[in-house]
Amino acid sequence: MDIRSLELFVDLSHTLRFRTTARRCHLTPSALTRAIARLEDGVGQQLLERDRRSVRLTSAGVRFQQYAEDAIGKWQQFLAATQPSASSLRGELRLYCSVTASYCVLPRLLWRMRELYSEISITLRTGDAEHGIERVLDADVDAALVPVPDEVVRSVDLLPLTRTPLLLLGPVRTCPLQVRLSEQVPWTRLPLILPETGPARIAIEQWFKWRRIKPEIHAYASGSEAILSMTSLGLGLGIVPKLVADHAPRSIHVRPVEDGPDLKPYTIALCTRKQASPIVAALKHIAGEAPTGE
């Protein structure tokens, strides 16, 4: 019985769907079935009752769920509390984050990492932060800085690092969109540029849905930096984290739109697989000690 088997069972005990857990844990349903069967053989009891339509925990399964969650938690605590010495920890740490996060969130982690573990080489890849969790689950990278999704992803650990408001921004330079803003045309009647996926997209769509307003969507873009650039050009109003707007290049000219939507702040977290290597465990320990804020 290993930690990976326990993680699979815990995820399945929450979804109660083999296909869902298999997809989230990047297994085939048959491979997941075999893993659960081996776990039940090891326990010596049936943990799940299943037929063609449903999956249910047995009474033993309910008790084992608590055991498995406790065991996974204690394993993570053990890794965090028994970090190898700086002289013995060597290898590669593969990271993924957005361009903005690479110079305004990540440095405080990497500085401490290099200070304590100078023998670790770091590979950094940048891209749309919304793809970070997928990159970690696919084992393309060891850790990523990601926006915390509304839906719980039980296959990964998410350690919050900082929060930043979501802002509705418009162009500063003279253009048809800026003219309409200056004429006090309600922003809900102006074209929008939204993220392709992620919490910001969900938040603004829910805002419109609750108010029964059908927005004018001009375009969808991958990455907040792209949205910021398109907004600066006057192609539409954009919704991006304040952190991105505050660190925009000088060529970007945008300003907050008055009376914009009141959206839930954007939380950025360190995403890792639950069964972490000693190097990733060291990074998580450092991240847990790092100050947070907006």
pLDDT digits (tens, 9 = 90+) for 242-275: 989 998 888 999 999 988 888 888 899 999 988 7
Measuring CA to CA, which residue among 173, 177, 224 is closest to residue 198?
224
Q: What is the pLDDT of residue 57?
A: 93
CB of 187 within 8 A of CB of 62?
no
Residue 180 pLDDT > 90, yes or no? yes
* Mean pLDDT of the 55-69 span: 91
* Mean pLDDT of the 69-87 span: 70
Residue 202 pLDDT > 70, yes or no? yes
Q: Determine the straight-line distance between the first and last CA of the chain, rounded to whole angstroms.
A: 42
Q: What is the pLDDT of residue 85?
A: 56
Helix (H, G, I), strand (E, B) or coil at 280: helix
Torsion (CA) 80, 82, 84, 90 in degrees, nearest 10:
-40
Say which CATH architecture domain 91-160+267-289 belongs to: 3-Layer(aba) Sandwich (3.40)
Long-range contacts of 250-256, Cβ-Cβ distance < 8 Å, separation of 24 or more: 252/228, 253/171, 253/172, 253/173, 254/169, 254/170, 254/171, 254/172, 254/228, 255/169, 255/170, 255/172, 256/167, 256/168, 256/169, 256/170
Structure-token pair, residue 87: 């002289």
Q: Which residues of 253-291 are buried (b: 16+ CB within 10 A; e: fewer)?
A: ebeebeebbebeebbbbbbbbbbbebbbbbbbbbbeeee
Q: What is the pLDDT of residue 255?
A: 94
CATH of domain 3-81: 1.10.10.10
Residue 293 pLDDT > 90, yes or no? no
Q: What is the pLDDT of residue 53?
A: 78
Cα–Cα distance, 119 to 87 (Å, whole number) = 8
Count the Cβ atoms, other than its own, within 10 Å of residue 82.
10
Q: What is the assigned CATH class of domain 166-264?
A: alpha beta
- Residues of the chain within CATH 3.40.190.10 domain(s) are 91-160+267-289, 166-264
- Mean pLDDT check: name the lowest of 72-76, 100-104, 184-188: 72-76
Percent of the chain exceeding pLDDT 70 equals: 94
Question: What predicted TM-score, i.e. pTM, was given to this entire model?
Answer: 0.66
